[in-house]
Amino acid sequence: MINSAKNTTGFFRPRDNMLEPRIEETGRGKTVYSNGRYLYSRYNPPRLSLQAAESAPIINRCIYLVPSPLLGYGLINLACRIPEDSIIITIEQSQEIMALCSPELLKNTGDSEADDSRIINVRLSDRDSLHALLHSLGPWRFRRIQRVDLSSGSSLNPELYDNLTDFLMEDLMSYWRNRHALGRLGREWVRHTFANLSLVADGCTSFQGFSSFKTGRVSVVAGAGPSLESSFEFLALHRDNLWIMAVDTALPALLESGITPDTVAVLDTQAWNLLDFHGSSSSKIPVIADITSYPPCITHTGGPCYLYSSEFAELDFLHRLKDSGLRDFTIPPLGSVGLAALEIISRISSGPVFLTGLDFAYSPGKSHARGSSFHHWQLSSISRLNPHPGWEASVKRPRLKGFDASGLTRDSDTVLMGYASLLKDRYSSDKRFHVLEPGGLYLGIPVISFIDAKAIIEGNIGGISENGQVVSLQDTAALFLMEELEGFKRVISAWEAYAEGNGSAADVAENLKGMDEVFADFPDEPPLPKVDDSFLVRAVSRVRQLQRYIKRLRS
């Protein structure tokens, strides 16, 4: 005899201990039952879905994210309301539920006045797949993410759907932040890449590869936040048993305290970054630098250099560099030299890692550690009329309240909190990492006392560090620059033929394909290059500038 119970809709269903998902008919539409609950109303399943679709805000260039669409109630209504430049993405994480509901979903969305291509149904449960989906659609097409729940399906795994929603929002924001940075700094990134390749080709600096660059000692990543000051004495006391990587802003603070780091990490492409190297001339400190870094920062210490490359944009130019062997160590576009240092240390270190000075928080008037270049600027700018340089700017700075590991509030801002959130997301699960007291914003990484840190050091004495091997890339770099000049020459020839009436705009655009370093910072919406004259004039002008720049470097 089947153990069953009659519900209020007049049909029989198994008791709640049978958790397999199924579709039930209510008389006013179908509902879905799973894990002991109904995911639509038992009495009028479509009603709340239609209300949610009708009340969703109308936003241009928006991705409407619908978690667990189940039977698709409300999707047609939503698709007919949203602007033409917006789309709907539905996400189902359960293969079982998707297999059960897909026939009804297709039936309920198949006959629609809305363009079918604007409703995208996917099954995924990880961030990488969602990232790939966004970039296949073209993130430049969208500005906002709006979540719309059309069922209670997300309640079966609320944390996953919340995380995917947050990730999609952050991924789109990250794209636009990178696009903004590319617009401001892309020209310098490309020029400095050529300048640094010219340094490699000249052979004046010892460039070494990451292939054998390893350390088994206890490592330290030192940022320039105020908490670094608390670590000076500890780092000096245990210097012989530590492998210290300083971010560039922390270098002068460490040197002033008598601590010479094993290496310094550089990311910034702007000239003022050279101020962080004051006092380090001829120190022979090895430099780990992004290939787009300001060139004098690479050569200032006179030590060997390890070049890495961040994926600051999806460019054929970067792929060509990688294929040639000039980008053998790549990292994600993290935006912060502190995060770049953590990414590098996580790959080359096999031992415990201490973090200090990575605060992502500040006190009004004191944002950096004693001895940093910013601190030196404050001291040198003191006058009778301005006794506290930087105070006014720090007070006017839009502040957000964050929390440290003790639960105490700390002043921060959107940029710093964004970096802290990214660090927490990427590295908090790595059990090798420890924050030296007192720390800054809570990063999801345990904060340890100097006594505990000493015990960790004593338990890991004897680790071996190996420097990278000298790599002979002079000929490779010289050949790459020569090929760039040849490509520029072809573009200019095609343009001159077009200007004389012997060619076409399409010929010029064809020669620009694959040379996206030329227009990486252009504000034009992808895909590029375009065949209109307004684009081609700017592109050819940039080609001539880069051609002159490389020739000057190689002369």
Q: Identify whether the C-beta of residue 228 lies closer than 8 Å to the C-beta of residue 357.
A: yes
Q: Which residue range(s) make up the domain with 521?
A: 476-554
Inter-axis angle of helices 127-137 and 158-202, to 10 degrees?
A: 70
Q: Does residue 506 sit within a domain?
A: yes
Q: Are residues 512 and 437 in the same domain?
A: no
Q: Are residues 255 and 380 in the same domain?
A: yes
Q: Identify whether the C-beta of residue 272 lies closer than 8 Å to the C-beta of residue 394.
A: no
Model pLDDT for residues 134-164, shown as the tens digit of each residue:
999 999 999 999 999 999 999 999 999 999 9
pLDDT confidence of 2, banded at 50, 70, 90?
very low
Q: Are residues 423 and 530 in the same domain?
A: no
Q: Are residues 515 and 453 in the same domain?
A: no
Q: Does residue 194 sit within a domain?
A: no
In sequence order, the β-bridge partners of residue 13 are 5
Model pLDDT for residues 188-219, shown as the tens digit of each residue:
999 999 999 999 999 888 888 787 788 889 99
Q: Are residues 223 and 315 in the same domain?
A: yes
Q: Identify whether the C-beta of residue 269 lies closer than 8 Å to the C-beta of residue 244.
A: no
Work out the percent of the chain whose per-residue pLDDT is above 90.
69
Q: Are residues 462 and 534 in the same domain?
A: no
Model pLDDT for residues 66-106, shown as the tens digit of each residue:
999 999 999 999 999 999 999 999 999 999 999 999 898 88
Give which of 508, 503, 504 is closest to 491, Cα–Cα.
Answer: 508
Give which of 524, 493, 526 is closest to 508, Cα–Cα.
Answer: 493
Domain boundary (466, 493, 511) is at 466
Strand segments (E) across 12-103: 12-14, 22-25, 30-34, 37-38, 62-67, 87-92
Of these ranges, 13-27, 95-109, 506-520, the one predicted with the greatest mean pLDDT is: 506-520
**Residue for token pair 């959130």:** 421
Q: Are residues 408 and 546 in the same domain?
A: no
Q: Does residue 167 sit within a domain?
A: no
Cα 367 from Cα 359, distance rounded (Å): 9
Question: In 431-457, which positions are buried (b, 16+ CB within 10 angstroms) versus exposed (e)?
Answer: ebbbbbbbbbbbbbbebbebeebeeeb
Cα 266 from Cα 308, distance rounded (Å): 10
Q: Chain-centre distance of CA 102, in angstroms?
A: 34
Domain boundary (442, 466, 490) is at 466
Cα 538 from Cα 105, distance rounded (Å): 49
Does the pLDDT at position 293 exceed 80?
A: yes
Cα 478 from Cα 242, distance rounded (Å): 38
Cα 30 from Cα 79, distance rounded (Å): 21
Q: What is the 3-state secondary structure (H, E, C) of 302-330?
A: CCCEEEEEECCCCCHHHHHHHHHCCCCCE
384 against 125, higher pLDDT: 125
User: Do β-strands 119-123 and 87-92 pair in parallel, antiparallel, or remain unpaired?
Assistant: parallel
Q: Does residue 161 sit within a domain?
A: no
Please tell me the predicted confidence (pLDDT) of residue 508.
Answer: 96
Q: What is the CA radius of gyration of the chain?
A: 29
Q: Phi and psi for 231 in degrees, rounded to 5?
A: -100, -10
300 against 388, higher pLDDT: 300
pLDDT confidence of 17, banded at 50, 70, 90?
very low
Region label for 224, one of left (φ > 0), alpha (ψ between -120 and 50) or beta (otherwise): alpha
Q: Does residue 183 sit within a domain?
A: no
What's the token pair of residue 255? 């040197």
Q: What is the mean pLDDT of residues 439-466?
A: 90
Angle (CA) 74-77-81 rounded to 5° is: 135
Q: Chain-centre distance of CA 500, in angstroms?
A: 45
| Average model confidence (pLDDT) across the chain | 89
Weakest mean pLDDT among 20-29, 258-267, 480-489, 533-542:
20-29
Please tell me the predicted confidence (pLDDT) of residue 324.
Answer: 92
Q: Are residues 233 and 309 in the same domain?
A: yes
Q: Are residues 75 and 219 in the same domain?
A: no
pLDDT confidence of 14, banded at 50, 70, 90?
very low
Angle (CA) 384-369-271 rounded to 5° is: 85
Residue 115 identity (one-letter amino acid): D
The DSSP code for 11 is: S
Please tell me the predicted confidence (pLDDT) of residue 7.
Answer: 42
Does the pLDDT at position 11 exceed 80?
A: no
Residue 476 identity (one-letter amino acid): T
Q: Identify whether the C-beta of residue 165 lies closer than 8 Å to the C-beta of residue 171.
A: no
Helix, strand, coil shares of the chain as percentages rounded to 5?
45, 15, 40
What's the token pair of residue 144? 């906002």
Please tell me the predicted confidence (pLDDT) of residue 468.
Answer: 65
pLDDT confidence of 333, banded at 50, 70, 90?
confident
Respond yes or no on whether the N-terminal peptide bond of residue 45 is cis (omega within 30° of 0).
no
Angle (CA) 74-20-5 rounded to 5° is: 95
Q: Phi and psi for 301 in degrees, rounded to 5?
A: -80, -20
Does the pLDDT at position 10 exceed 60?
A: no
Q: Are residues 391 and 282 in the same domain?
A: yes
Domain boundary (417, 433, 466) is at 466
**Residue for token pair 């500890």:** 234
Q: Does residue 172 sit within a domain?
A: no
Q: Does residue 196 sit within a domain?
A: no
Cα 64 from Cα 172, distance rounded (Å): 13
Please tell me the predicted confidence (pLDDT) of residue 210.
Answer: 80
**Do you know the residue count of the chain?**
555
* Tally of domains in the chain: 3
Q: Are residues 438 and 482 in the same domain?
A: no
Q: Does residue 16 sit within a domain?
A: yes
What's the token pair of residue 399? 């502040």
Cα 337 from Cα 276, distance rounded (Å): 13
The DSSP code for 398 is: -
411 against 471, higher pLDDT: 411
Please tell me the predicted confidence (pLDDT) of residue 105.
Answer: 87
Q: What is the mean pLDDT of residues 478-505?
A: 96
Q: Are residues 144 and 248 in the same domain?
A: no
Please tell me the predicted confidence (pLDDT) of residue 111.
Answer: 53
pLDDT confidence of 410, banded at 50, 70, 90?
very high
